[in-house]
Amino acid sequence: MTMAIPENDSYQLAGKSYHSRLIVGTGKYADFEQTKEAIALTGAEIVTVAVRRVNITDPTQPNLLDYITPDKYTILPNTAGCYTAEDAVRTCRLAREAGVGKLVKLEVIGDERNLYPDVTATIEAAAELVKDGFDVLPYITDDPVACKKLEDVGCAAVMPLAAPIGSGLGIRNPYSIKIILEQSSVPVIVDAGVGTASDAAFAMELGCTAVLMNTAIAGADDPLAMARAMNLAVDAGRTAFLAGRIGKKLYASASSPITDLIG
Amino acid sequence: MKLVVNGEKQEFSGQPTIAGLLDELGLSGKKLAVELNRTVVQKTEWESTDLHDDDSLEIVHFVGGG
């Protein structure tokens, strides 16, 4: 697929250069084959995975990393399901030991119903992980103060939510995202809450570095079609951002010449 | 020897090291990580790390997630 995006439009994350601004999760797909196919269609270079107990009663089960291979993708383990800083740090240490590097998506959840992050525990865990040598990408509320604190403790990016995880509500507070963009000197990645292609395009139009999603693709009626739609949307939004949109005006501005009309 | 592996009580009679346990569970050679009593044990230490009665282990790997 040919895209209008400039070849040199890339961004740096934890010392590595990426071209695709779409980061995708691997949860909720029908099977590993579908996961692999959908992720290929998104064009993503970074994929998130979760850390869970091995099924010790059936060790022959297939492994996700046989389908989403670390030679092709940057594997980004998450700490989803952790409710304390301690559990999140333990999970990151386990993930690093499993051999996919030191980049981690930090989530410390504060409420099981809305899955909003526990901000103080997230900052605490982030500080400890940075000290331990991790490149930390924290999932956080769309709160400029929390984002600033995470940047100050040394996070490699900040990842404000668009809306609650899996809600599909899109970017609920673009003005907060704009403030976060203005103040941050690390990449700003919108994480969670995207519902459809226009939401992803909007994140890019705001100037976000990247957008991270899972349910919007895996939960669509046709995940493969939505994977392609998100790929196109992120490129469209990014290209529009680079193109520089027109200003918003209250009154009309004619597109056709207003002189030399017939008498 | 009594161990707690991934939250389940297990009777284990094999070689009392982490490597021995993984071998008995059919998990040798898989991409995974191991915690012994809440501390991660590096792969290079699996052969030399002895297990004792009532040790608690977490054996994890990567699954789909967002």
B34 vs A contacts (CB less than 8 Å): 97
Cβ proximity of A209 and A177 under 8 Å: no
- Cα angle for residues A9, A12, A13 (degrees, 5° grid): 140
Domain assignment of residue B14, yes or no: yes
Domain assignment of residue B11, yes or no: yes
Q: What is the ipTM of this complex?
A: 0.95
Which of A48, A65, A97 best tests the B interface by mutation, with the highest count of B CBs <10 A?
A97
Domain assignment of residue B49, yes or no: yes
- Measured CA to CA, the distance from residue A252 to residue A236 in angstroms comes to 25
- Measured CA to CA, the distance from residue A160 to residue B50 in angstroms comes to 44
The number of helix segments (H) and strand segments (E) in chain A equals 8, 10
Domain assignment of residue B13, yes or no: yes
A50 touches chain B (CB under 8 A): yes
Encoding tokens for residue A243? 């193109």
Compute how many other C-beta atoms are within 10 angstroms of the C-beta atom of residue A254. Answer: 6
- Measured CA to CA, the distance from residue A13 to residue A94 in angstroms comes to 22
Closest-CA residue of A relative to B45 is: A97
A40 touches chain B (CB under 8 A): no
Nearest to A80 by CA among A138, A18, A144: A138
A29 vs B contacts (CB less than 8 Å): 64
Encoding tokens for residue A158? 């900040």
- On whether the pTM is more than 0.90, the answer is yes
Measure in Å the smallest separation between the Cα of A235 and chain B Cα atoms: 21
CATH number reported for the structural domain that contains residue B45 in this entry: 3.10.20.30
Domain assignment of residue B55, yes or no: yes
- Measured CA to CA, the distance from residue A12 to residue B48 in angstroms comes to 40
- Number of domains composing chain B: 1
- Measured CA to CA, the distance from residue A89 to residue A254 in angstroms comes to 58
Out of B41, B58, B65, the one facing A25 most closely (by C-beta) is: B65
pLDDT in tens, chain A (263 residues): 555 556 779 999 999 999 999 999 999 999 999 999 999 999 999 999 999 999 988 888 889 999 999 999 999 999 999 999 999 999 999 999 998 899 999 999 999 999 999 999 999 999 999 999 999 999 999 999 999 999 999 999 999 999 999 999 999 999 999 999 999 999 999 999 999 999 999 999 999 999 999 999 999 999 999 999 999 999 999 999 999 999 999 999 999 999 999 98
Domain assignment of residue B66, yes or no: no
Domain assignment of residue B7, yes or no: yes
Domain assignment of residue B34, yes or no: yes
The Cβ-side half-sphere exposure at B55, using a 13 Å CA radius, reads 19
User: What range does the domain containing B6 cover?
Assistant: 2-61
Out of B26, B43, B66, the one facing A59 most closely (by C-beta) is: B26
Q: Is A187 helix (H, G, I), strand (E, B) or coil?
A: coil
